[in-house]
Structures are given as structure tokens and as C-alpha cells.
Amino acid sequence: MFEDLLYSVNLTTVFVFFLVLLFVYYITKPPTDIPPFPKPVLPIFGNLLSLVNKDILEYFRNLQNEYGDIYSFYMGSQLMIVINGYSAIKEALVQNGRLFSDRPTNFMSEILNEKSGIIFTSGDKWKEHRRFAVTALHEFGFGSASFEQNILEEAQELVKIFEEQNDQPFQTKGIVNICVINVISQILVGKRFKHTDDNFRDHIDKLIKGATLLGNYFPGDPLKMRYVKEISKQMKRWYESMVLEHKNSFEEGSARDYIDLYISKARSKEKEGKLSTFSDTQLYISIGDLLIAGNLTTAACIQWTLLHFLHFPEIQKKCFEDINQVVGRERLPNVKDKEHLPYLEATIMEVMRVYPLSPLALPHSVTKEVLFRGYRIPKGATVLINLDSVLRDPSTFKDPDVFRPERYLDADGHITKPEEYIPFSIGRRMCIGESVARMEIFLFLAALIQRFEFLPVEGERLPERRGILGIIHSPVPFLIRAVRRS
């Protein structure tokens, strides 16, 4: 009798569970007028199980082959619209830029960034603070000759640290990140940090880990969510300490850096008695955004290039020969040398094509319901811009999987760039520091190539050209030898 009762209870449990699943599926059933999507779309999980142990970029390439340039994807219950191909991306971000310029409201924007900062905000708040950031950065020489001097000083420091490795294998990641971030830190917080500053190194490590985890965060992963939130809290405390230090020594009319300009702006708004978005929280998050934007992409590009030199020593040799002929060994290469070093520029361009620094860009959202290429995109849907689909399009880049810098050089050896070459995206949300990032990448790499030959670890296999896909697409850490040129 007990067994019959237990059997009956089990059947009832299964039946109720089945009914619950049917109900959940019914109320979350995907609409039919959105872009096509892979099936099945499971209740709660959506298409997440399809991604287990898969390369998301390869998975998206397969979906593009099956469904075309626009398709949908369910990240749990969150609808994602993926736009592929240059024509569709340009139509969305340029021709319909106002409609596609928002950021989605999600875990990152609400919990981590408190709907603040520059990267993950939208609407008037984003416009106001983006405008302020651009103005403030340029006031302190962002992109100018003085800024170039900052880069050259950090490039010299990077060369010195590489020399200290004494031709022994080492990892470049932490060293390069610190030098690159030090360039912008002088404008943001008015000082550069020493490589021996353990507190600074610890916070930069956390910044990188947070950016990596956020980029591959899946809904429903409580351990990762808790870890990312803890990193976010620690970083915020670090920003708070720097802002407090500035407030305690602030003098109106004598702005020393970005933080001082922000404090002045916030107090001016307060005196006027107007509602203002210039809050302390907004400042903290903006500092983090400006440290990430451009700087981690710059550092990742430098690391990808060094990794490629191990696989393509003939390309490294050609870059050095050009630098040696144009610049020599008596001084560091500068921005004026760039036009005379097209092969190095072409090599950097090819690195950013084969391994785009943010292959899915940062997520967009639509400001209202949109009819796009015959499909309905609901208001609030997350829109992913698949730059990888453009940069590996064989109709533009012949043999897209082949690493070939020469594809950007014309018959006279001058740089030629196709319209479809968009590693920093396009439209209203494109990277505000693209030109500066290109300057930094060129100057750092030129200085390193001038002084060192980069070689693999003796007796070991070449490190794989594999990436970690987060907010930034960076190479898996690898060992390298920097051998001083005689």
C-alpha cells in the first residue's frame, strides 16, 4: 500500500512539474514576428544549453549561415537580437543610430554600475556625461603632443621592465596593462603609479578580472555574480579614496585633472540649485569606465601582436627592418614616424581584424519598438553587434582566416583601408578614444620592436592563439622571451 501511495505521489509530482513547464513555456513563448532563432527555446534556459562548451563566435557564425544577417537568441529569458554583416550593422548604428543607441537595462547597469557612468548609461544622461568626458580629457591634452610625451615615457618604462627580465621567459599581461593604464591615469587622477605599488597592481588585476567575467556572464550563475559584485565594491572603494583625496585638497579654479574638473562641475550645478546627474557615484563609475575604455583594448592588442610575432617571425623581422631604417636606434619612434612605417601599421590592423578586441562590441538596445529589415525588435531587447562577422567576411577580406598584413598595402606600399574595416565599431556609440588607442598601440609596439626580438620559450611548443572573450577579447596568458637587440 505504501509503495502504491509513493508511486501515486511521484506520478503527481511529475505531472505537476510538466504542467508548470507547459505554463512557463506558454507565457514565455517566443513571438513569431521577431528575427528567426535556434530551437528549442527552453523555459528558463532559453538557448543557453546550446552554448555549453562552445565557442560563441563560431556558434554565431553558424547561426548567420543558417538564418542570415539578423537572428534572435535567448539568453535565459532575455531576448537578444544579433546583427551581422557590414550593411545591416551600418543601417542599424548609422542610418538608425538614434533608435539603436541605448544600452540594455540588466544586471551590469542596475546592480554593478547603478545606472551610472558612461559606458552603460543611455539617453540624456549618457549624452551629458559623454560630452563632459570628451571636453575634460581634451582640456588635459588627450591626443595632443603632451599626451604623446606621456605615452613615450611609459613606453620607455615598459622597455626598461622588459630589459629587467634578462632574456628569461615571462608573462607580458600585467606589465603591459599597468604601463597603458598609467598613460590615462595622469589625466584622470593626476599621477602615475609605480609598478612596485602592490595596491595598484591588485586593483588593476581586479579591474581586468571583472571585465573578463562580465563579458562571459550567464544569467543564473550565482557564484560568478557574487564574485563580480564583490570586485565591483572593492573597485568603488578605491575610486572613492581617490576622489576623497581630491576633495580634501581641491582649489576652485585650479583643476589638476579630470576628477577636479568633475568636482568643480558638480559644485557649480549644486550652487545653481538645479537637478544634476553629477553625483559622486556617477564619478566613481566614470573613472572605472575610462580606465577600461580604450586602455584594456590597447593592452590586449599589444599582447596579441607579440603573440603573433612568435608564430610569424618573418613579420616581426620586416617590422624591425623598417623601424631600423626609418628611425634608427638613437631615439624612440614617435607619431611622425607612423606614416613612414606602413608595414607595422598594417600588422596592427591585421591583428585587430583577426582578433577583434571587442568582437561583439558592447550591447545596444532600442529606444522604442523598431521594424528593422522586416522584423520586429521589441523595445528593451538587447542588440548585439557582431563585428566578427564583418572583419571575417570573405567578400571583403579574402582568405579571412589567413594572417596577412599585406592586404592593407597598395602597389606603392601605402595603407589602404576598406570601409568595412571597423574594429572599434561605428555610429554614435563608437569608442571615443579610437584615435588615441591607435596612437598608443603604435608607439608602444614600435618601441618594443626597436629594442627586442621576441622569441618563444626554448624547447616548448608555441603558445596557442586562443582568446578569452570578456568585455575585452584578450589572449590566454602566455610566456615569451624579449631578447635585447645587439
Q: Is the peptide bond before 40 cis (omega within 30 degrees of 0)?
A: yes
C-alpha triplet 472, 158, 317: angle, nearest 5°? 85
Would you call 78 helix, strand, or coil by DSSP? strand
Closest CA to 452 of 154, 160, 151, 180: 160
- Strands of the sheet containing 364-365, edge to edge, are 70-75, 78-84, 382-386, 364-365
Q: Which residues are annotated as a binding site?
A: 431
Helices (H), 101-197: 107, 123-139, 145-163, 173-188
Cell of 439: 596612437
> What does the alpha-carbon distance between residue 286 and residue 239 come to, in Å, rounded to a whole number?
10
Determine the Cα–Cα distance for residues 224 and 23; give it in Å rounded to an integer. 29
Q: Tell me the DSSP string of 281-303.
A: HHHHHHHHHHHHTTHHHHHHHHH
| Enclosing H/E stretch for 75 | strand 70-75
As a whole number of angstroms, the distance between CA 398 and CA 167 comes to 38
Known binding positions for heme: 431
Give the Å distances, CA to CA, from 405 to 201, 213, 352, 475, 484.
34, 32, 11, 19, 25
